[in-house]
């Protein structure tokens, strides 16, 4: 199982959040667990459409995505990109060897493009403090993330461009 790192941001503080996905046989369902707020729960439809419209297959069966730790509230759409990546990795649609030393943030549009999010600076500070070497953020947020030295910052335009 792959673990994707993102961040729960609250003001000037960020807590690392691990995103993990499991795909199993059963009735079609897409469950998000780990104390997501309404905006995160609404991500299900955005993520499904973004994966499909980026040329990948959304899995049939039961998809369970865990946002850990479960006792930290997850707010906003910045989890879309890491959730989509975790699903694609769980299904074998994509593969990646060094994903665990990176942080991912980004809201997905239905066409798979990545939109700007709040909390990028805070997430970059968290990444640096935890000796994480790279952060992938929406293209519009790259300047904010590069304000924190010592990180490799990658701007992402779309889910497909990130995966390619």
Which domain covers residue 157, as residue numbers?
4-163
**Are 138 and 113 within 8 A, CB to CB?**
no
Q: What is the pLDDT of residues 80-125, one digit of tens each?
A: 999 999 999 999 988 877 788 999 999 999 999 999 999 999 999 9
Distance CA 58, CA 49 (A): 8
pLDDT of residue 99: 86
- How are the residues of the chain apportioned to helix, strand and coil, as percentages rounded to the nearest 5? 35, 30, 35
pLDDT of residue 36: 82
**Are 46 and 109 within 8 A, CB to CB?**
yes
Q: What is the CATH number of the domain that holds 19?
A: 3.30.230.10
Question: What is the total count of domains within the chain?
Answer: 1
């Amino acid at each position: 199982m792959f673990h994707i790192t993102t961040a729960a941001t609250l003001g000037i503080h960020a807590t690392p959040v691990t995103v993990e996905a499991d795909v199993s046989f059963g009735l079609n369902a897409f469950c998000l667990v780990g104390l997501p707020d309404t905006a995160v729960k609404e991500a299900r439809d955005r993520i499904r459409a973004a994966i499909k419209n980026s040329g990948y297959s959304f899995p049939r069966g039961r998809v369970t995505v865990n946002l850990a730790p479960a006792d930290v509230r997850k707010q906003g759409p910045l989890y879309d990109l890491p959730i989509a990546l975790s699903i694609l990795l769980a299904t074998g649609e994509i593969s990646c060897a060094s994903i665990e030393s990176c942080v991912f943030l980004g809201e997905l549009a239905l066409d798979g493009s990545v939109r700007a999010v709040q909390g990028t600076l805070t997430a970059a500070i968290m990444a640096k403090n935890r000796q994480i070497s790279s952060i992938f953020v929406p293209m519009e947020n790259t300047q904010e993330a590069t304000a924190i030295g010592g990180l490799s910052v990658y701007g992402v335009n779309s889910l497909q461009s990130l995966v390619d």
